[in-house]
Every structure is written in C-alpha cells, then in structure tokens.
Amino acid sequence: MRSAAWAVGVVFTGCEGQELGQWAGFRDCQHRAQLFFQSALRAPLSGPKLLSLRCSLSQALPLAAHRTRRVNEPLLPPSAGPGPMDTSDLFSSCRKGDIFRVRHLVEQRDVELNVRDKWDSTPLYYACLCGHEELVRYLLANGAKCEVNTFDGERCLYGALSDTIRRLLKEYKQITAKCMQRDYYDDFLQRLLEQGSYSDTVFIVHGESFQAHRCVLSARSPYFAEMFENKWKGKNVIGLKHPLVNPAAFGSILQYLYTGHMDIDVEHVEDCKRLAKQCRLQDLIDDLEEKCKKVYEFVSSKPGTCVKVLSVEPSGNGHLQEDLAILADCALPAELRVGFGELPFDSTDNFSSYPDVCFQIAGYNFLCHKSFFCGRSDYFKALLEDHFCESHELQALPSIPVITLHNITEETFMRVLYYIYSDDTELSPDNAYEVLCVADMYLLPGLKRLCGKTLAQMLDEDSIIGIWKTAKLFQLTRLEDQCTEYMARIIEKLVDSEEFAAAVREDAEAVEERQETDSIPLIDDIRFHITSNVQTYSAIEEANQRLEALENLLASLELEC
C-alpha cells in the first residue's frame, strides 16, 4: 500500500525584492524541474518528498505571457490538429536545442517539420544556426529538407554554427532524398509522377518520354483539359516538337501539376515560365518570380554561396487539393450529387475525368481511377490487381470493370472517396467512428488520422475513456496523447470514476509479465502531462494536488508504478 504525499518546492536566490510574477528564470529551468519531477515519480516511495530547485533570478526574463489557468476558466479539449502554438513551440524548441520537446511535438503532436516562419526560416535552419548537432541529426533523419545547392540547403550551410554541423549537412545521405515522408498524400503524388502507374498517355518531348494521367492534368490545367478534348483527343502518345519546349522544363511543369511543388535548375527557369504561361499557371509564374528574387538577394548578400536549383513550394496544398477534388465530384453518381457540396451548380459539367474503374455500392455506381485507389490503398491495390475478384462491365462503358463493395454505405464511401482524391473529407461526430473503422479496413492511415482529429473535438468527462480506448485500438498515437493530456487536466474528477479505475487496472494487466512496481503506460502518460508545464508556484501546487489524487487511486487499487 502506498500513501505518500507529494510536494514540490522551488527556491529562488538572488535579486531580492523582485516579484516572482515578473520573472521567467523558472521557465529556463522548466526542463530540469520536469526531469526532477519524473525521476522522483519513478523512484521508490517511502514518505513525503520535497523537490527543491534553485535558480538565480539574475538570469530571469519577463513572465507576463506565461500565466496559469484561472480557477474558473473552463476546460477545453485539445485542438484537433497541430495549431499555431505547436508550430511556435517547435521553432522555440529548435532554437533552444530541446530535442526531447521536438521529439514529442513531431512524434506525438504530429507537427510538420518543414514549416516556415514569417522570416522564411525552417526549424532545421534554427537548429543549425544555434549549433545543436544532435537536434540537427534528428531533424534530418525525420525528413527535414536540406537539398544540396538549393536556397534552404545553402542557407543552412551558411548559417551553421560549427564545422561539425556543416560536415553533417554535406555528408548526411538523406538530404538529397525524399525520405521519411510523413505526409501520405505528398508521398502518393510523388510516386504517381515517378512510377506512372496506370498512366493513360505518354508525352514525347524531343526524344524524352514522360508518362502521365489525363485525369490529373485535366483537373490541374484548363489548357490540358481543352487539348485532351480537342487536338489530342483519342491519342495515347503525344509528340511535342516545338523548339522552345525544353524537356527539363516540361518535366518540372509535370512535377508541379502532380505535387504542387517544383525543383528546377536555375538555367531552365525562363523555359519553365514560358511553359507555365502556355498552360495558364499564373500562380506558378508568380511563385517563380518571387523565389528568383529571394535567391538573388541571398546570393548577393552571402559571398561564396551557390544556388543551382530553384525549389518552389507554395504554402499548403490548398489549390492542389481543390483541383483534384473535382475528380471526386465526377465520380459521384448523379443521384448523390444533389445537395452535396457548396456550389448551386454542378462543377463537373463539360469536364471529362477519364475513369477506368467503377465501384458499386448499394446499387450506386462510382466512376473512379485505379491510379488513385491503388496508389492510396494497398487494400484496393490487392483488390483491383487480383484477376479472380468478382467484376462485370458497365453497359454504357463496356471497357470499365465494375467492382461491388460490401459492408459499407454509399455515404461512408463518399467520405473515403473525397479523402483518396483530395486528402480531406467531411467528417462529423456522427460518422467519425464508422469512417474510422472503414479506414482501418481499407488501410488508409491518413484517413484514420483525420478521424482522430474529429474525435479529439468530442472529448469530455463522459467520453474520454471510450475515446482513449478507441485511440489505443486503432493505434492513433496523437489522439491517445490528447486523451491523456485531457485526463491530466481533470484527474481530480476522474479518480472517482469506476470507468477510469477499470481502465487503469486493464492497462496494468496489459503489460506482459508485469512486476509489482513496473510502470503503467496510462499512468506514466498522465504524470508526464501533469508535470510538463509547471512554471509558477500556483502551477506547482496544482500539480501536487493532481499527483496526490492519482497516487491515492493507485493505492486504493493496490497498484504501484
């Protein structure tokens, strides 16, 4: 039986007469305090403990922005996805070299590594600039972009604090590869471009061939849509022999149409702008001109730098997703288009999507594309490539096979459909769990993550345990972390819940060959969140109260961890 009381004290020395609320020296010691907290939590308990942390106020900074929650302030569930605070925390942690916090933000909070701040700087740039070698290694290993001879790559090399980091950037094998892709959609589009799976047209540009998909090019460019319906109609091989059409520039245009970003040698930028104008891609022209200006200013002000490759990466995938969503609009049966979407007219009028497969659900026919369904889901890839699967042909389109799907409603399939094409879909508390089950069956981890974001918005005292169990069942680590964070905030209420006590006992039993004092994952996670943001005296007292409530529950359950 354990009945230890917990107490944490912070002793400040120096700067007599200064008010605690005016200083943030404690914030700089936050990580040490958290380590003290956690080491004490893991230590054998025999009675009341007092942790004393000494730090000098002579090194303190203003604390105005770091107030604790007021007593009467309502508890809100965690945000559905990585927000501005998480992104700001990532930049701050990279400047400080806090690899533990960065690891938590990337692996648990799902924060994107290649974001930019208002100074067009990336987390990797700050890690290099501040000389945090271990953090630089971690960022590179997890997909931070630093290609050689690009604006970002040269900037990181130029700003690196030490020669060791410069060598690391130059020698690290992953800086030139598209590796550790954490974005399933970007990864899929890149593979679709490079591998050309289920392509239905080939461009020959001065002897160099490029496989492509008419559905993608038509959705992304009005020029290609018109040409496929007129001059190139019925052609599977299209030759482009005009002397001003450069193969390298054409390949970069295809890269932009498929992925939303572009890598082009500086010497081919003008050729690329010429083709972009022909294809009516004004946004790309504007992005190229802006990037050229930035590179020129950087090279002019930083002697010795050399930028040979121009990388265009528009902020977000908004336009790309909107363009490809029209393919999902076209796939909908006419009976289901009424009332679906925001526009009062049918956006698919006079648009050809060139489908090559039909999925039949409850009598409704969805005209789709193998390239998207096979590329996005291994389930559909196995289904469509299995020559023994049950199928028949449409009478109106005899060349298109029809696959009947069971155990799914047309409404749920519509959510899957829009996710596959645009990486986004309309979810609500009413359909999130059903879509989650289907996403798990169809092997769509990105859709599962979207469902997790919707479920995170539903967190309250009554639903928290059920959603936490769902997160564990479907291996949604971010949702599970959000659940334990919310539990930590309301732990004094949860300890009186039989459902919570049963969950703790069940989690303890799930640990294989658990010894008497082994850890319990759920308890460890709750303790972490209780102690992770301790910055003031009042926060320390509140954390002690929560920890004591948790310890009393464990004692009543006769559990030690």
Domain assignments of the chain as residue spans, ordered by start: 6-71+494-556, 84-176, 184-316, 320-426
Per-residue pLDDT of the chain (561 residues; tens, 9 = 90+): 333 333 343 333 333 333 333 333 333 344 444 444 444 444 433 333 333 332 332 233 222 233 233 333 344 455 445 566 788 889 999 999 999 899 888 887 778 888 888 888 899 999 999 999 999 989 988 888 877 667 777 888 888 888 888 888 877 654 433 444 446 898 899 999 999 999 999 999 999 999 999 999 999 999 999 999 999 998 999 999 999 999 999 999 999 999 998 888 888 999 999 999 999 999 999 989 888 888 888 777 777 777 778 888 866 667 899 999 999 999 999 888 865 444 445 556 678 899 999 999 999 999 999 999 999 999 999 999 875 555 566 656 667 889 999 999 999 999 999 999 999 999 999 999 999 999 999 999 999 999 999 999 999 999 999 999 999 999 999 899 999 999 999 999 999 999 999 999 999 888 766 565 568 899 999 999 998 878 788 889 999 999 999 999 999 988 887
Count other C-beta atoms under 10 Å from residue 120's C-beta.
12
Q: How far is CA 433 from the centre of its chain?
A: 20
What fold does the segment set 320-426 form as a domain? Answer: Potassium Channel Kv1.1; Chain A (3.30.710)
Which H or E run includes 168? Answer: helix 163-171
- CB 251, CB 210: distance < 8 Å: yes
> What's this model's pTM, rounded to 2 decimal places?
0.73
**3-state secondary structure at position 557:** coil
Structure tokens at 381: 């890839």
**What CATH number was assigned to the domain covering residues 184-316?**
3.30.710.10
Tokens of 99: 């690899």
Distance CA 105, CA 477 (A): 12
Please tell me the distance from the alpha carbon of residue 479 to that of residue 325, in angstroms, as a whole number. Answer: 27
HEC string of 52-120 equals EEEEEHHHCCCCCCCCCCCCCCCCCCCCCCCCHHHHHHHHHHHHHCCHHHHHHHHHCCCCCCCCCCCCC
What's the CATH number of domain 84-176, 3.90.650.10, 3.30.930.10, 1.20.1050.10, 1.25.40.20? 1.25.40.20
Q: How far is it, in rounded angstroms, from Cα 469 to Cα 474?
A: 9
Q: Do domains 84-176 and 320-426 have the same CATH topology?
A: no
Torsion of CA 221, 224, 230, 233, to 10 degrees: -130
Residue 535 phi/psi, 5-degree rounding, is -130, -15
pLDDT for the residue numbered 473:
95
- Residue 398: the pLDDT is 65
pLDDT at 315: 64
**Other beta carbons within 10 Å of 465:** 17
- Other CB atoms within 10 A of residue 351 CB: 15
- With pLDDT > 70 as the criterion, what percentage of the chain qualifies? 76
Write down the pLDDT at residue 13.
Answer: 33
- Give Cα 60 to chain centroid, integer Å: 35
What's the per-residue H, E or C state across 212-226?
A: ECHHHHHHHCHHHHH
6 Cβ contact partners less than 8 Å away, ≥ 6 residues apart: 48, 49, 544, 547, 548, 551
Structure confidence at residue 11 (pLDDT): 35
Q: What does the pLDDT look like over 447-478, one tens digit per residue?
A: 999 999 999 999 999 999 999 999 999 999 98
The SS3 assignment for 310 reads strand
